[in-house]
Amino acid sequence: MAVAKTGKELPQGIMLRKDGRYIGRFKYLGDTYTVYGKTVEETQEKLDDLKYETRHGLYEKETNLTVDAWFRTWMEQYKESTVKQGTVKTYTSFYGNYIAGRLGKLKLKDVRPEHIQKLYNDLHKQGLHRNTIEIVSIVLGGMYKQAYKNQLISKNPVPLATLPKEAAHKERRVLTREEQKVFLEYAAGSQYAPIFEFALSTGMRGGEIKALTWENVNFGKEIIAVRHTLIKSGKEYALDTPKTGSSYRDIPMMENVRTLLKRQKIWQQESRLRLGELWNPAEGLENLVFTTAVGTPIDKEYLKNSIDGIVKKINKGGIEFEHITMHTFRHSFATRCIENGMNPQTLKAILGHSKLAMTMDLYAHVLPDQKAEEIRKIANLF
């Protein structure tokens, strides 16, 4: 009778080794499978997991398993039911774009730290942003952590590789008050002008604006509820949960936003009547606040092209105006809030930041520009 260190009888299939560890074995379809653990409970848990995986076709011998094959299993069995749809799309995209071509055909167990290090270095040399390489590392790290837990590999190589040094922080592009006024003047008449003004007046992320539905616009309480973000998979659009838990928030509706939304509602109602069957919203997204001219969701490329066109028109008009993106509007909104004395905690809540440090980074950017102005206010005291 096999007994544990405590003297209790061991479960069937588990034995105590001379080095003090426990070993668990079982046979399935003629093959022997083995697990190890520091305690009886840990060994039994690993044994039960491995039995389940072998009997349900989730386990492959490490000698045959490629990185590509394990990524598919990892996503299907461990991620698709536990993370947001947007995260699944991101992981799949990053794996296909940055990992598959370099590591996909290698056997999972043959990938060494130097393979991963070379991957990071190559991506860095290509000019990819540090944040992009970090997501590549997160995908690889998750895959290999689960593979190690499943005993498909004896060592996890990912923590042994080093991410490239972060490049010097590029200064955030923020519109001045005058630039903001100029942009809106030149945007007047543009199909997406209401979105640009809305972004400058709420600080909402682009995906949150495109996902806003009329159910989340409360004219009575003058509140805009942020509850979704818009994602795209192939040619299909869908509503997903916001970026983080703190991204769920209610934003006070300023008077210009109220007027803008009222006009937007009238425009939609008139467009539906005028276009009839040509008004063609995506299934499940019939109640979006901001849409294309035929009621479909707005692709980020549409907004990018519109912004680029407006900036080009401004420059042709003899006004020097640097490149901006949708995110510039969010930073500009935050800057106006700080300039007008909004406290960090309030701004954090409105922007939906998960950490106060993210909001304070905006303050660090804005406040130095106000030093000279503040000093002039007390100059007459001396």
pLDDT digits (tens, 9 = 90+) for 26-85: 888 777 888 888 898 989 998 888 888 777 666 655 557 899 999 999 999 889 888 888
E-only strand ranges, 38-161: none
Can you give the three-state secondary structure of 248-299, one letter per residue? CEEEECCHHHHHHHHHHHHHHHHHHHHHHHHCCCCCCCCCECCCCCCCCCCC
Helix (H, G, I), strand (E, B) or coil at 354: coil
* Choices 3.40.50.300, 3.30.70.20, 3.30.43.10, 1.10.150.130: CATH for 67-160: 1.10.150.130
Nearest 5°: CA angle at 120, between 114 and 126? 135
Backbone phi, psi, residue 15, to 5°: -135, 155
Helix axes 130-149, 67-74, angle to 10 degrees: 90
Quick check: 310 and 186 in contact, CB under 8 A?
Answer: yes
Residue 382's pLDDT band (cuts 50, 70, 90): very low
Q: How open is the CA angle 16-19-24, to the nearest 5 degrees?
A: 35
112 pLDDT above the threshold of 90: yes
Of the candidates 346, 216, 379, 338, the one whose C-alpha atom is nearest the C-alpha of residue 289 is: 216
pLDDT digits (tens, 9 = 90+) for 159-210: 999 998 875 556 678 999 999 999 999 999 899 999 999 999 999 999 999 9
Most confident of 1-5, 66-70, 339-343: 66-70
Q: Quick one: DSSP state of residue 107?
A: B
Whole-number Å distance between alpha carbons of 60 and 62: 6
Q: For residues 93 and 99, give the distance between their C-alpha atoms in angstroms, rounded to a whole number.
A: 10
pLDDT in the model for residue 378: 53
Domain layout of the chain by residue ranges: 14-55, 67-160, 177-371
For 356-381, what is each residue's pLDDT tens digit? 888 887 777 766 555 555 555 555 55
Classify burial at 303, counting beta carbons within 10 Å of its beta carbon; exposed 0-12, middle 13-18, buried 19 or more. Answer: buried
Compute the distance between CA of residue 211 and CA of residue 228 in angstroms, rounded to an integer.
6
% of the chain exceeding 70 in pLDDT: 90
The mean per-residue pLDDT over the stretch 321-331 comes to 94
Beta bridge partners of 224: 217, 251
Tell me the pLDDT band of 3, cut-offs 50, 70 and 90.
low
The whole-chain average pLDDT of the chain stands at: 88
Architecture field, domain 177-371: Orthogonal Bundle (1.10)
- Given this model, what pLDDT does residue 376 score? 52
Cβ neighbours of residue 247 closer than 8 Å, sequence gap 6 or more: 205, 208, 226, 229, 352, 354
The reported pTM is 0.65
Neighbours of 286 (CB within 10 A): 12
Judged against a pLDDT cut of 50, whether residue 134 lies above it is answered with: yes
Q: How many whole angstroms from its chain centre is CA 234? A: 17
Q: Tell me: pLDDT of 304 over 90.
A: yes
Query: Which of 55-59, 147-151, 234-238 is the least confident region?
Result: 55-59
Per-residue burial over 355-373, b if 16 or more Cβ lie within 10 Å, else e, is eeeebeebbebbeeeeeee
